[in-house]
């Protein structure tokens, strides 16, 4: 599981403690089912998109509502739309900060060039 999903054993144990994964146990070994593998794939994807572990857990729990996953899909779309709005706002803020920093760098380069020219002229 660790190699297949590029996660650490600690990560798997953490997800298990948060009731996101439910491996079977044989002594000290944890045996992960296809269901666990599918859940881990969804957990990793959800984390990549910025979903909280609690949101992910709630979405995974909705799989068993017995409505052909309609509730799960609707809730997933609701959270996804909210997250997309958050990411777009963050991107706007980042773009603004990048543009401001570029302007400050241009200003700093002009000042540095001016100081260098003044110093060379004085020498």
- pLDDT recorded at residue 106: 98
- pLDDT recorded at residue 64: 75
- pLDDT recorded at residue 119: 85
Candidate CATH numbers 1.20.1050.10, 3.30.365.10, 1.10.1660.10, 3.30.460.10; the one for domain 2-87? 1.10.1660.10
Question: What is the 3-class SS of the chain, one letter each residue?
Answer: CHHHHCCCHHHHHHHHHCCCCCCEEECCEEECCHHHHHHHHHHHHHHHCCCCHHHHHHHHHHHHHCCCCHHHHHHHHHHHHHHHHHHHHHHHHHHHHHHHHHHHHHHHHHHHHHHHHHHHHHC
- pLDDT recorded at residue 68: 82
- In the chain, domain spans: 2-87
pTM of the predicted model, to two decimals?
0.70
* Average pLDDT, consecutive stretches of 10 residues, N- to C-terminus, the chain (123 residues): 93 93 91 93 93 92 83 92 95 98 98 91 82
């Amino acid at each position: 599981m660790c190699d297949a999903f590029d996660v650490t054993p600690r990560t798997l144990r953490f997800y298990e403690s948060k009731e996101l994964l439910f491996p079977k146990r044989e002594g000290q070994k944890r045996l992960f089912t296809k269901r666990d593998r599918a859940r881990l794939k969804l957990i990793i994807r959800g984390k990549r998109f910025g979903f909280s572990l609690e949101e992910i857990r709630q979405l995974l729990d909705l799989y068993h509502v017995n409505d052909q996953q309609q509730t799960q899909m609707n809730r997933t779309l609701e959270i996804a739309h909210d997250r997309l709005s958050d990411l777009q706002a963050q991107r706007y803020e980042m773009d603004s900060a990048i543009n401001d920093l570029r302007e400050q760098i241009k200003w700093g380069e002009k000042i540095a060039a001016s100081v260098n020219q003044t110093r060379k002229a004085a020498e």
